[in-house]
Structures are given as structure tokens and as C-alpha cells.
Amino acid sequence: MIAAQTTALQKHSFCATVCLFLALFFCCFNPLLAQAAEQELVVYSANLENTPAGMFAALSCSVSDEDALRDLLKDGATIELAITFDIEGNRSWWSNAELLHKTFASKLTHDPLTREFAVTVPGATGPITLRQKNLTRLIHQSWRNLRLPLLSPAERASLDPEREHTLRITFYVHHVEVPPWLEQSTLFWSPDVAPQVILERPLPVTQ
């Protein structure tokens, strides 16, 4: 009985030691994972433009460490910036009513043949692709200068101007798929490139 308990404890201790060793190995000896863990999503500005053509969101964002992002892309990763808009009608006694939900995505890749970075951004008639060998310039042309349609004239007209509304904007940067260098081992892999950022603000409704 005592021998069986001792054997079970030894097995448990061995498994715990192996798990700790693997965790330390991946954190300390995989620089790409370490860089990703330190990455932050920075939102420089988030403004609303109310025009006859509808309401638009003028956004500017990027990651804190573009060198680490460049390394991920050159190693074959596909990175996506997802921006979600949620509009809620405020209620006093109940949870707010969700009135609108929209998501926009921008994918960032690297072509090893042309040595160009490419990013897809929402355009007037659909997604467009921008290419640039300089990643910093490409981010300034795209993620740092986004203008996204928030409300069409019809959607804006459907909101009650006498009611208070809240706009929530969620920014999220993540891997679209498992990076090539982790295809054989995804034990400690996370799709997150940086923690998401959530902004909330009152939404003025004027027709």
C-alpha cells in the first residue's frame, strides 16, 4: 500500500517536472514566442465622422514592437487585425439591447519571393491589397489610417435620437492559422499576437 502511494507520488512529481521544464524551454528558448508575449496593441486615435453618406470610424492603431511583427511575418505567419463594432441601446433596469454588430478584418502577410509585405484593407467597393517592402510604411498606409463605415444612412435613421446609445470598439491582432514553425507542436501556442483592446464611448445619434 505504502509502496503504491510512493510510486504514484513519484509519477506525479515526474509529470510536474516535465511540464515545468517544457514551459521554461518554450518561454526562454523560443524568442518568437517570447516576443509575442510582450507585444501590445496600441490605439492612437478613434474618432467618429458623421456625414450625409453615413457615419464612419477614423481609426489609427498598430503594435508596439514592429520588429517582432516583421520577424513573425518573415517566418511565414499570417497576421490579422480584427476590429469589431457593437452598438447598444442603453436601458436602466435591464442589460443593454444590442442593436448592431459589425466586424472588419485586415490580413498582413510576407512574400519571400518578392520580399514584399502585403496587407488587405476595406475599400469602398471591397477589400483592396497594398504592397510595400517597408513594413513600417505599409502599416502607416493601412492600420494607422483606417476609415471604416460604421452606420449607413438607413442604419443611422433606425436609431432613436431620444435614446442613449453606447459604442464598443474591440481591436484584436491574432494569427490566422498555426505558424509553420509550430505545425508539429502546438502545446504552448496561442493565436493571440497581443492582448485585445476595448474602447467604449457614448454614440451621439443625429440624423
Compute the mean pLDDT over every residue in the chain, rounded to the nearest whole number. 81
Q: Which triple of cell numbers denotes residue 117?
A: 509585405
Q: How confident is the model at residue 32 (pLDDT cuts 50, 70, 90)?
A: very low
CA dihedral 115, 113, 61, 173 (to 10 degrees): -140
CB distance 112 to 77 below 8 Å: no
| Cα distance between residue 75 and residue 67, in whole Å | 12
Give the up-direction half-sphere exposure of residue 132: CA atoms within 13 A in the CB hemisphere.
14
Q: Which triple of cell numbers denotes residue 200?
A: 467604449
What CA–CA distances, in Å, run from 171 to 43, 182, 198? 8, 25, 6
| Cα distance between residue 64 and residue 177, in whole Å | 22
Tens digit of each residue's pLDDT (9 = 90 or more) over 85-114: 999 987 666 666 788 999 999 999 999 999
Decide: helix, strand or coil at residue 133.
coil
pLDDT, mean of residues 66-87: 94
CA nearest 81: which of 127, 35, 50? 127
Q: Which triple of cell numbers denotes residue 3?
A: 509502496
User: What is the residue whose three cell numbers read 508539429?
Assistant: 184
pLDDT recorded at residue 46:
96
CB distance 44 to 171 below 8 Å: no
List the domain range (segments joined by +) for residue 17. Answer: 1-38
pLDDT recorded at residue 183:
54
pTM above 0.85, yes or no: no
Q: Which triple of cell numbers denotes residue 87?
A: 452598438
Residues 103, 113 within the same domain: yes
pLDDT recorded at residue 95:
62
Tens digit of each residue's pLDDT (9 = 90 or more) over 188-203: 557 889 999 999 999 9
Residues 151, 139 within the same domain: yes
Residues 111, 137 within the same domain: yes
Residues 5, 25 within the same domain: yes
Residues 34, 81 within the same domain: no
For the chain, how many structural domains are there in total? 2
CB distance 161 to 207 below 8 Å: yes
Read off the DSSP letter of residue 113: T
| Cα distance between residue 143 and residue 68, in whole Å | 17
Residue 207 is assigned to a structural domain of this protein: no
Residues 7, 107 within the same domain: no
Tens digit of each residue's pLDDT (9 = 90 or more) over 141-185: 999 999 999 999 999 999 888 888 999 999 999 998 766 655 555
Q: Which residue type, as a one-letter code, is found at position 63?
A: V
CB distance 198 to 169 below 8 Å: yes
pLDDT recorded at residue 94:
65
